[in-house]
Structure 1
Amino acid sequence: MTDRWFPKARPRAVAGGLQARSKRGAIARTWWSGRFVGVLEEMGMGGRLERGRNYARRGQVISLEVTAGSATARVQGSSATPYRVRIGITAFDKRDWSKVERTLAENAWYAAKLLAGEMPEDIEAVFADLGLPLFPTGARDLSMDCSCPDFQVPCKHLAAAFYLLAEAFDEDPFTILTWRGRTRDELLANLRTARAGTSPVGPALPTTPAAFYALQADLPSATAPASDPASLLDQLPATTFTLRGHTLPDLLRPAYQALDDLAYDH
């Protein structure tokens, strides 16, 4: 079914709508929003894809709210009443998020990036290793509803909401985690708690200079080497060098022995 079955009515103008920041070209600016838009573009929407992008750029989306498992929007079309749009996804349950948070907390790099408000570029792999896809892999992973009369899904109103949702991911990458069931504040609080419980506690440092420089334990006494150091000279490769009839090992042996005696006399 294509758009030719529906007359192309002009949408009603909206004052103060949510306009896409991108005015031309690709809307996604970051890897996480790009992954999401890629799913939309793989759905084969035909003209709805372009019209939905135009809706997003003209500010036809009046509102957008992201909660666990649901992104809801109001989109103004040609009708007097804005259409109600919902894009649903499965939110991970408490057990799933517990596994994710434990894995992230055990990795100092992931924990540091997230606690600094940054999204690690390979965080998707963490979810994948746990059998939890962070992004939808296609239309089958999403539930899509719009109150418009177009029975083709997704319609241009859904497409407009998709594009604004992608920009929401650009603005705050933690939005994708919210959509999957964990807000930024909840995630960071749980990471801090987990890190506090798993971080190793080292020995207390001395509080005074005297204690710091004091001998902490008896030093081991020196023991004789397993072999005579002078015997190492016998392992030297053969040379033609001689001095007054003595070979190089013979000349060096008294010095090796004297150093060995001196070390153990002290």
Structure 2
Amino acid sequence: MAAPGRDGEHRRTFPALPPRPADAGLAGTWWGNAWVTALEEGALDAARLARGRGYAERGHVDAVTVTPGLVLAYVQGSRPRPYRVQVRLRTLGDDDWRRFLDAAVERPGHIAALLDKELPHSLADCGVPLLPGPGDLAPQCSCPDSGHPCKHAAALCYQTARLLDADPFVLLLLRGRGERELLDALSRLNAARAARAAQERGPAPLPGVRAGAALTGRALPPLPAPLPTPPHPEQPPSYPAAPGGPDPFALDQLATDAAARAHALLATGRDPVGSLTLWQDAVRLAAARPGSGLTAGTRALYASLAGATGRDPAELARAVAAWRQGGPDGLDVLEEPWDPPAGRFDRARPLLLAADLPAFRPWRNHLTHPRGHVQLRLGRTGLWYAYESEPGREDWWPRGTPDPDPVGALTGLGGPGDV
């Protein structure tokens, strides 16, 4: 079972669970089976339950988010777009929680069992309706099926039973209280019971040590060796989309980037992008998006990053091409013309002529083909960067790979006759 993401005391997100064989069963504890029984006895169609069980067994349920009174996830059905599914369960009132806490501290074994992720029968039978009964689970799905429940909601309920198996605090969170909140309340109640019992027994002798022993200097043990750096950053948890909330794909990209930066800082002591400007960092994030086609998700990302930096998406796309060509140096070559000193730049034109290329026109650090469709730019680190444009237009785009040789930088743009 993967560790859950903890968004807060009242929100836990569990990564998608792996598929499991049909004969393995979807609940292994008595309280997990009680959840499944509540689902199946309240269902109106056994066929939908069977299909939902198959979806859960084959891993069609994405990350599951649990909050008080609500379980939420995306479930992949027969269509390409997954369905948004939620299952609601009534939360308990303050009086119910007081009865539950009193029953939990009545026996010391109850608290120990909860810490061991066990739910004792005696605690579940304390007069508080912890476990749902038939009809208590209220499913809702974005699919057009009007079944109660539909197969997607059934899949989420079966998958939730696996989460309850691993941690009964998931059930308690569904009923309205978080794990830390409950453990703190149990600790206070337990301490109060112990204090009352001690008061009834009378005062105990105060423990102590001699003042000389307390003030004697002592050497502290050495600190333990630091833990080894992990071989790679972990993947962040998945977050389901919520109406009016942030884009989960953008959140995933930012979290993945932050994890990679933190891993580099831990391993080397340096942040590889800490010195970048806002614009450079926006270009870096856009360039990290896999693929070259502007899909709907990529267009949305480009529009967001361009708007945040006061640029337009076309500028950002050109800058991304320069970044992929040469990183920060490639972006500097795109945006900052400069006057190179005599030497490497002056030797470039004879080298181009020796390669049967025409005389390129110089301007600052640029050398432009007479027909105006190919250009070379000298970077501050001594590399040459190739650019292409439609003849007669000043619409230069980075092409190819930087090279210390101007002729080598033109490799891949066509033969000498084409250039």
Same fold, judged at TM 0.5 (above): yes
User: 5+ residue gaps in structure 2?
Assistant: 1-14, 209-419
The residue that corresponds to 1:191 in the other structure is: 186
Q: Distance in 2 between matches of 1:32 and 1:115?
A: 16
Q: Report what 1:228 is aligned to.
A: none
RMSD (Å), alpha carbons: 2.2
The residue that corresponds to 1:103 in the other structure is: 103
**Displacement, 1:56?**
0.6
Counterpart residue type for residue 109 of structure 1? G
Change (3 A) 1:102 1:17: closer
The question of 1:161 aligning with 2:156 is answered yes
Give the corresponding residue for 2:85: 85
Question: Does residue 1:28 correspond to 2:24, yes or no?
Answer: no
Q: Tell me whether 1:137 sits opposite 2:133 in the alignment.
A: yes
2: CA distance, partners of 1:196 / 1:206: 18
- What's the secondary structure of 1:135's corresponding residue? coil
Any idea what the Cα deviations from partners look like across 1:19-78, whole Å, max 9, x if unmatched? 344532531111000111112222242211111111011111112111110111110112
Shift of 1:84: 0.7
Amino acid across the alignment from 1:61 = V
Q: Per the alignment, in what secondary structure is the counterpart of residue 87 of structure 2?
A: strand
Alignment-mate amino acid for residue 129 of structure 2 = P
Structure 2 counterpart of 1:71, one-letter code? V
The residue matched to 1:24 in structure 2 has which SS? helix
Displacement of 1:147 in angstroms is: 0.4
Deviation digits for residues 156-195 of structure 1, max 9, x if unmatched? 1011001100000011122111111112211111100111
Pair 1:115–1:47, CA change in 2 (3 A)? closer
**8 A contact 2:60–2:75 mirrored in 1:** yes
- Cα distance, 1:109 vs. partner? 3.0
How high is the TM-score relative to the length of structure 2?
0.42
Superposed displacement of residue 79, structure 1: 2.2
Aligned CA distance change for structure 1 residues 172 and 20 (closer, same or farther; 3 Å): farther
Q: 1:165 to 1:20 in 2, by over 3 A?
A: farther
Equivalent pair of 2:91/2:174 in contact (CA under 8 Å): yes
**1:259 corresponding residue in structure 2:** none
* Contact 1:20–1:164 under 8 Å retained in 2: no
The alignment partner of 1:151 has SS state of coil
| SS of equivalent residue, structure 2 residue 125 | helix
Structure 2 counterpart of 1:66: 66
Match of 1:250 in 2: none
Counterpart of 2:53 in structure 1 is: 53
Change (3 A) 1:111 1:25: closer
Secondary structure of 2:74 counterpart: strand
Q: 1:102: how far off? A: 2.3
After TM superposition, the structure 1 stretch with the greater mean CA deviation from structure 2, 164-173 or 108-117, is 108-117
Partner letter of residue 134 of structure 2? G
Alpha-carbon distance, 1:95 to partner: 3.4
Q: Which amino acid counterpart does residue 34 of structure 1 have in structure 2?
A: N
Contact persistence 1:51–1:156 (CA under 8 A): yes
Instruction: Identify if the C-alpha distance between structure 1 residues 197 and 49 changes in structure 2 by more than 3 Å, giving closer, same or farther.
Output: same
Q: For residues 152 and 44 of structure 2, what CA distance do their matches in structure 1 show?
A: 15
User: Counterpart of 1:7?
Assistant: none
Partner letter of residue 61 of structure 2? V
Cα distance between partner residues in 2 of 1:206 and 1:58: 62
CA–CA separation in structure 2 for the residues paired with 1:65 and 1:29:
21
Counting aligned pairs with the same residue, the percent is 39
Confirm whether residue 37 of structure 1 aligns to residue 36 of structure 2: yes
TM-superposition CA deviations, 1:106-160 (whole Å, max 9, x none): 333323433454322332111xx2xx31111112x22210000101120110110
Q: SS at 2:111's partner residue? A: helix
Q: Which residue of 1 aligns with 2:121?
A: 121
d(CA) in 2 for partners of 1:89, 1:181: 10
**Larger Cα Rg: Structure 1 or Structure 2?**
1
For residue 104 of structure 2, give the secondary structure of its aligned residue in structure 1: helix
Q: TM-score, normalised by structure 1?
A: 0.65
Amino acid at match of 1:98: R
CA contact (8 A) 1:36 1:135 kept: yes
- Aligned equivalent of 1:19: 18
Opposite residue 23 of structure 1, the aligned amino acid is A
- Aligned with residue 181 of structure 1, among 164, 176, 181: 176
Could you say if the C-alpha distance between residues 62 and 152 of structure 1 is closer, same or farther in structure 2, counting changes exceeding 3 Å? same
| Residues in 1 aligned to 2:171 and 2:181: alpha-carbon distance in whole angstroms | 14
